[in-house]
Amino acid sequence: MGRAISKTGAVRALGAMSGTSLDGVDTAVVETDGVRILGFGASGYRAYSDAERAVLRAALGQWHGPEVDAAAELVTVAHAEALSEFDEIDLIGFHGQTLAHEPRGRGTLQVGDGDGLTQALGVPVVWDFRSDDVAMGGEGAPLAPFFHFACAKWIGATEPLCFLNLGGVGNLTYVDPSFDGPEAPGALLAFDTGPANAPVDDLMQARLGLPMDRDGALARQGSVEAGALELFLSEPFFRKMPPKSLDRNDFAEMIRLVQELSDADAVATLTGMCAAGVMQGMEHCPKPPARVLVTGGGRRNPVLMDMLRAGLDCAVEPVETVGLDGDMLEAQAFAYLAVRVARGLPTSCPGTTGVSALVGGGVVSSVERIEDSIKRF
């Protein structure tokens, strides 16, 4: 599967992402020198079964214990299966599964064994991307913005634009492509906007036994409850200046705000909360963006997209309109970031995570490193 990685030039990197929506493992190939995107390769998807999803849900919000151990083993095995489908790979970027995120407290936890993947696949693996950023005072998230800057250059953007990822949590990246690089002051601003799909998914699962509100079908039948929306927007998070980040469960009380509503009204209100968080976040952009390019599962919800278009003063489009893959952008991001880590380039900066200085987080596992560790043991 693997081949030796060169010190310079193009690298064929394979990224893997398992997001807070807990749907499965996305895998995607990017050819890059760690600065420019040189091309996109094949991609894949390995879904979690209902039983596997239950294991991951049981570990959410926990930092240690048998549930965390079970989730870590599941994540490693699932990723090994998904990543083994690819050939001629120089380097793997492995994000792991976020179970808990508390950058001003206990830190951040992404489970999965990068050393184990290196042993199983025979390819160097970059992992644990977030810990160094948190250790230096950053939020540890979001980490895709440096890749978003490269994407803006790839599509030939000349005006400021935003990438909006609507996964379990929403996050926004403001990109000014007039700068030469992502680390330049003013080139990037990034932060979490609030909950996105996670509360809707959780409510659908709890009330109806369904994983999601597919195509916004139930939200379309309901109405947004103004009182619940007002209470949601009064949360202190929305008064904080970016950069700022969230854990998947930070807004768990959203479910309580809609518990007396019908299924349709509850889902419509949670969907409206997601859109309102984005609208609040857009006020932080240094300049009005020319467009908002939406990635993640939320772009497939026409009710949510219509809410965003009604509330924002610019075009709101899925990233496919510029030739990018909204299902794979996160996996591609960690392929790109893996090359930056391997080459000693920064992966976050004060404008993206609030970290005190440029930082290139991540652990590089290689077969040689693992063998050396075993010998020392």
Are 11-139+332-343+357-376 and 156-322 in the same CATH fold?
A: yes
Domain ranges of the chain: 11-139+332-343+357-376, 156-322
Homologous superfamily in CATH for domain 11-139+332-343+357-376? ATPase, nucleotide binding domain (3.30.420.40)
What is the reported pLDDT for 375? 43
| Domain 156-322, CATH class in plain words | alpha beta
* 280-309: pLDDT as tens digits: 999 999 999 999 999 999 999 999 999 999
Alpha helices in the chain (DSSP H): 50-59, 66-83, 114-121, 131-135, 145-154, 197-208, 217-220, 226-233, 254-257, 263-282, 302-311, 329-342, 350-353, 367-376
What is the reported pLDDT for 7? 60
For 131, phi then psi, to 5°, come to -60, -40
What is the reported pLDDT for 369? 57
What is the reported pLDDT for 251? 82
What is the reported pLDDT for 367? 63
133 touches 353 (CB < 8 A): yes
* 321-366: pLDDT as tens digits: 999 999 999 999 999 999 999 999 999 999 999 999 999 989 999 8
Regions of the chain where pLDDT drops below 70: 1-7, 367-377
Q: What is the pTM of this model?
A: 0.92
What is the reported pLDDT for 376? 44
What is the reported pLDDT for 168? 86
